[in-house]
Amino acid sequence: MAEIIPEDIQKDLEKACSLHQRTSSDYKKCMEFNKLMSELLGRLEDADCYRAADRVMGILLDCNPREGAHCDKVSMVGEKVKKFEKG
């Protein structure tokens, strides 16, 4: 049975997916993406959406913003984000 993600969380997930497309060379956007995903992880767990929370955790494990450095995992994280968008 598919998880039912609350609408407010779903909107923030969509925002995060859109934000990630603009993060690869912008440290501040990357930090914003990472913070939003971290917050979403807790909200998903609170909503008992553990499958989606596991997917967000997988994204966060690969997302490691560093000031002054290009993201070396932008493609890998981008693929995970795209899969999240598709459901």
- pTM above threshold 0.85: no
pLDDT level of residue 69 (50, 70, 90 thresholds): low
Q: Is the pLDDT of residue 57 over 90?
A: yes
Supply the Cα-derived Rg of the chain in whole angstroms: 12
| Domain edges within the chain | 7-65+73-86
pLDDT level of residue 1 (50, 70, 90 thresholds): low
Higher pLDDT, 23 or 38: 38
Q: String of b and e for 66-80 (b: at least 16 CB within 10 Å)?
A: eeeeebeebeebbeb
DSSP string, 27-57: HHHHHHHHHHHHHHHHHHHHTT-HHHHHHHH
